[in-house]
Amino acid sequence: MMRAGLTRLVNAYRWRQRFYGQAWKTRRYPRVLITAPVWALLMKRVTIIWSTTISIRVNQHGWGRPPGGRWHRTFPLIVLLLVGCSSPTAPTPPVVVTPPVVVAPPVVAPPVVTPNPLLSDPRFSLSFYRQFVRNVYEEPRNLQPLRRQTEAPRIYLRTIDEAGAAIDVNTLNQTAAAIEQTAGQLTGVFGVAGIDRGTSTREGQRGWITVRWASESSAYCGFAVYGGDVMTLYPKTPGCRCTGGPAVRLKTVRHELGHVLGFYHTDSPTDLMFQGGSACDINPSARELFHARIAYSRPIGSLDP
Ligand SMILES: [Zn+2]
């Protein structure tokens, strides 16, 4: 087909040369009348539905009869009536529109929230939880997020006070025992990893709680930072020692440890975390033990359960 088309084009060119010679190239001649149908046929883009041949004449100056001149040439003009833009022998294949592949987003299963059975326990009290864990008793307008130890802490019990004076062994033994017992009660999970004694310190070291002995009196018997890594006991402060007991009352030791473990003051003298009172020793109350278990089952920074 291509070869036949080329032959036709070459023949058409020779035919033009024969009739018009070099003048063909310089005259204004509507060559589109011939080349467009031929090209369209070659491209199979049209269908010939009627054709005929007429003769028109041109002169040396172009179309039409020159003033006073004469017709110069006569040539046949093939008139084609072309319609359509498609060929019946070469139908344009239908455009197949491939629908876009819709990739379904991965199904993300919602996290399985296991309800804490402690929250449905009748012993649970939101108001007490807020006192004990969120400091609502002392700062009702500034509730704190949960703070607590995240792993079993190691206790470093200093054997000298800040001035270097030795602490008696009875005080150290009772203090260590109280810390170990109360940490186990309040964390309910891991207790303490161990208790070391020495004249150094572990302040600032991750995983350690250092117990210091102040060498001067103050307004307190003890001081600690909530969820922190150090607690200070004040054996020189008057009234902090019970007769025959350790240098600082065990109630104070347990209470300050409660702060280090993340708990705040409560409103009942029967609680370990009640501030004040003259008891030589006291254990965490039942409600403190229960709500401490809830606190130690929840993530750091959480609010109300
Ligand atoms: Zn306190």
How much distance in Å is there from the Cα of 194 to the middle of ligand 1? 24
How much distance in Å is there from the Cα of 225 to the middle of ligand 1? 9
How much distance in Å is there from the Cα of 31 to the middle of ligand 1? 107
Tell me, yes or no, whether 215 and 290 share the same domain: yes
Higher pLDDT: 51 or 274? It is 274
How much distance in Å is there from the Cα of 70 to the middle of ligand 1? 127
* Residues at Cβ < 5 Å from ligand 1 ion: 275
How much distance in Å is there from the Cα of 93 to the middle of ligand 1? 87
* Sequential DSSP letters for the chain: -HHHHHHHHHHHHHHHHHHHTTHHHHS---THHHHHHHHHHHTT--EEEEEEEEEEEEBTTBSSPPTT----EEEEEEEEEEE-SS-SSSPPPPP--PPP---PPP--PPP-----GGGGSTT--HHHHHHHHH-TTT-TTSPPPP---SSPPEEEEESB-TTSPBPPHHHHHHHHHHHHHHHHHHHSS---SEEEEESS--TT-TTEEEEEE-SS--S-SEEE-TT-SEEEE-TTSTT-S-TTS-SS-HHHHHHHHHHHTT---BS-TTSTTBS----S--PPPHHHHHHHHHHTTS-TT----
Q: Does 171 map to a domain?
A: yes
Q: Does 151 map to a domain?
A: yes
Q: Does 211 map to a domain?
A: yes
How much distance in Å is there from the Cα of 50 to the middle of ligand 1? 110
Tell me, yes or no, whether 128 and 265 share the same domain: yes
Q: The domain containing residue 130 runs over which residues? A: 118-295
Average pLDDT over residues 210-219: 96
How much distance in Å is there from the Cα of 263 to the middle of ligand 1? 9
Average pLDDT over residues 40-59: 54
pLDDT tens for each residue of 87-133: 455 556 677 777 777 778 778 777 676 777 888 889 999 999 999 99
Whether the per-residue pLDDT at 68 is higher than 50: the answer is: yes
pLDDT tens for each residue of 220-261: 999 998 888 999 999 999 999 999 999 999 999 999 999 999
pLDDT tens for each residue of 275-292: 988 899 999 999 999 999
Number of domains in the chain: 2
> CATH code at 237?
3.40.390.10
Tell me, yes or no, whether 72 and 206 share the same domain: no
Tell me, yes or no, whether 53 and 140 share the same domain: no
pLDDT tens for each residue of 125-182: 999 999 999 999 999 999 999 999 999 999 999 999 999 999 999 999 999 999 999 9
Q: Does 156 map to a domain?
A: yes
